[in-house]
C-alpha cells in the first residue's frame, strides 16, 4: 500500500477546479480498456463534459465524489457514491466510476477508495450499496475481497471501449 496517497471527498467547486485532472484519469482508464460507459476513441471534450456534469451532481447533493491524490498532488483515482435515489430507496446508494490511473494501480488505491466510499455512504445514512462491473476483470476480485456479495451476471450487458460485448456482474453490500 502506498502511504503517499490521500483519499478525500471533494466538493463541487473543487470538482470544477480539477475537471482536467479527472478527465486525464477517465481517458487513461478508457484507453486502458475499462468499460465505464465510454467508447474509443474518447475525446478530451467528452471527458471534460462528463466531469462537469458530475460537478453539477455534487453541487445538487446527488452524489459524493472521492479522489485519491498522490504525494505530488495529482489525482490518481476516483469513485462516486450516488446518493440521490428513488423515494422508496432512501437507504440505498450506487457506487459508480471507480477509476484508478494505470500508473497508480497495484498500490492499494482502489481498496482505499472503496473503504472511503463505504464510510461516505454510511455517513450519508445509506445502508445498502449496489454496483456493477465487467465480469472477470480485476475490479470483480477487488469487490469480492472488500466484502461485496455477488448478485449475478448479465451476459452481453455492455460494450467494452473497443465495441466488443461484455458480461456484467452485479454486487451489493450491506453496511453495518
Residue 37: give the domain boundaries.
6-174
d(C-alpha 162, C-alpha 33), whole Å: 8
1 belongs to a structural domain: no
β-pairing verdict for 128-134 and 92-100? parallel
Radius of gyration of the CA atoms of the chain, in A: 15
Helices (H), 72-149: 109-123, 138-145
Task: Write out pLDDT tens, residues 38-81.
Answer: 999 999 999 999 999 999 999 999 999 999 999 999 999 999 99
DSSP state at residue 104 = G
pTM above 0.75, yes or no: yes
Q: How many domains does the chain have?
A: 1
CATH number, domain at 57?
3.40.630.30
Task: Write out pLDDT tens, residues 144-166.
Answer: 999 999 999 999 999 999 999 99
Amino acid at each position: 500500500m502506498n502511504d503517499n496517497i490521500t483519499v478525500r471527498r471533494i466538493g463541487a467547486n473543487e470538482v470544477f477546479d480539477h475537471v482536467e485532472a479527472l478527465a486525464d484519469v477517465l481517458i487513461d482508464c478508457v484507453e486502458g480498456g475499462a468499460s465505464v460507459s465510454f467508447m474509443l476513441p474518447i475525446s478530451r471534450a467528452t471527458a471534460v463534459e462528463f466531469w462537469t456534469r458530475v460537478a453539477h451532481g455534487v453541487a445538487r447533493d446527488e452524489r459524493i465524489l472521492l479522489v485519491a491524490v498522490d504525494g505530488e498532488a495529482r489525482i490518481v483515482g476516483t469513485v462516486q457514491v450516488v446518493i440521490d435515489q428513488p423515494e422508496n430507496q432512501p437507504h440505498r446508494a450506487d457506487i459508480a466510476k471507480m477509476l484508478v490511473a494505470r500508473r497508480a494501480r497495484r498500490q492499494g488505491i482502489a481498496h482505499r477508495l472503496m473503504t472511503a466510499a463505504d464510510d461516505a455512504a454510511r455517513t450519508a445514512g445509506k445502508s445498502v450499496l449496489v454496483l456493477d462491473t465487467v465480469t472477470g476483470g480485476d475490479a470483480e476480485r477487488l469487490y469480492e475481497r472488500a466484502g461485496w456479495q455477488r448478485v449475478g451476471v448479465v451476459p452481453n450487458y455492455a460494450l467494452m471501449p473497443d465495441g466488443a460485448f461484455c458480461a456484467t456482474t452485479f454486487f451489493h453490500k450491506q453496511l453495518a
